[in-house]
Amino acid sequence: MNDHIVKSYDAEFKELDRLTAHMGGLAEKLLADAFAALERRDPNLAAATIASDKSIDTLELQVQERAILMIAKRQPIANDLRHIMTVLKITSDLERIGDLAKNIAKRALAVSGEAHPKPLMNGLRHMTELAMRQLKDALDALSSRDAGKAREVWHRDAGLDALYNSVFRELLTYMMEDPRNIGLCTHLLFGAKNIERIGDHTTNIAENVLYLVDGVAMTEERPKGDDTSSMVMSARTS
């Protein structure tokens, strides 16, 4: 891509991209820390994670202010306008990802006193790992303007949904086996749901990268794998 004739315009775009990348990095760390706090039952890490969500919110506001100023000053069109609009949408997804991760950290605080049977965390760990990989790839696709990579992320979200289904079943089974598990499992279920939602926001980011690169809005139906809303399990009576 050629440079703008007005050099300061390019500098503004660079700054916008730098802030977005910084937000992305913070969102990744927040998710990793939130899960670590949950798995290790570490209230200090959980509290620090909750506090660090504020930096993401602050960055989002900074991006928003700069983007509005750029629109007013430069009256961007074509790929420049797409660039600014996608950054606005992507940072709003990153802000939501931060919120959802913070929510996981809050649950880590709530369950920090309870004993976790180890296998209970396996499903959630897999989900977190997949969500982390998705987020990393989506952010890489953004920084390298890689439509192919964004498309891969978009297709892989169904895998995270499928994992969520199995975690959902698994946690329900634990609850049915022993009612003393219900408190903990409910928190973990919400945690799993939050990770699944993080996957959806990551897919939004991938869609926005595709729009940024190709200039065509993604209209294909997303591959969906989350069936938990229609899942029914009855407790065994025997």
Partner 1 sequence: MDMSAATRMEAERSAPVTAQGLPAKVVARDVNVFYGEKHALKHVDVDIPDRGVTAFIGPSGCGKSTFLRCINRMNDTIASCKVTGKITIDNRDIYDPSLDVVQLRARVGMVFQKPNPFPKSIFDNVAYGPKIHGLARTKSELEAIVTASLEKAGLWSEVKDRLGDSGTGLSGGQQQRLCIARAIAVNPDVILMDEPCSALDPIATAKVETLIDELRANYCIIIVTHSMQQAARVSQRTAFFHLGTLVEEGPTERIFSTPRDQRTQDYITGRTG
1 binds partner 1 (CB under 8 A): yes
Q: Which of residues 82-141 bind partner 1 (CB under 8 A)?
A: 82
Window contacting partner 1 (CB under 8 A); options: 80-88, 130-138, 150-158, 184-192: 80-88
Q: Which of 122, 215, 227, 231 binds partner 1 (CB under 8 A)?
A: 215
Residue 227 contacts residue 182 (beta carbons within 8 Å) = no
Q: How far apart are the first and last CA of the chain?
A: 69
What the block records as the tokens of 27 is 């969102």
Question: With binding defined as CB under 8 A, does residue 77 bind partner 1?
Answer: yes
Helix, strand, or coil (residue 2):
coil
Q: How far apart are CA 208 and CA 200, in angstroms?
A: 12
Among the listed residues 56, 99, 65, the one whose alpha carbon sits nearest the alpha carbon of residue 84:
65
Q: Does 5 bind partner 1 (CB under 8 A)?
A: yes
Angle, alpha carbons 161-213-224 (nearest 5°): 15
**221 touches partner 1 (CB under 8 A):** no
Establish how many alpha carbons lie within 13 A of residue 134's alpha carbon, considering only the half-sphere containing its beta carbon: 32
The tokens describing 76, both together, are 């961007």
Nearer to partner 1, 6 or 69 (CB): 6
Is residue 145 within 8 A of residue 86, CB to CB? The reply is no
Question: Cα(70)–Cα(12) distance, rounded to whole angstroms?
Answer: 8
Nearer to partner 1, 9 or 190 (CB): 9
Q: How far is the CB of 205 from partner 1 (least distance, A)?
A: 21
CA 132, distance to chain mean position in Å, is 8
Q: Which residue, 4 or 40, is less far from partner 1 as judged by CB? A: 4
- Asked if 4 and 77 count as a contact pair (C-beta separation under 8 A), the reply is no
Q: Is 217 in the site for partner 1 (CB under 8 A)?
A: no
Measured from the CB atom, the residue of 3 and 221 that comes closer to partner 1 is 3
152 binds partner 1 (CB under 8 A): no
Q: Does 72 bind partner 1 (CB under 8 A)?
A: no
Q: Which stretch binds partner 1 (CB under 8 A): 79-87, 97-105, 133-141, 187-195?
A: 79-87
216 binds partner 1 (CB under 8 A): yes
Q: For the CB of residue 87, give the shortest distance to partner 1 in the complex, in Å.
A: 16
d(CA 125, CA 102): 16
Which residue number, 164 or 211, has a Cβ lying nearer to partner 1?
A: 211
Which residues in this chain contact partner 1 in the complex, by CB under 8 A?
1-6, 9, 75-82, 215-216
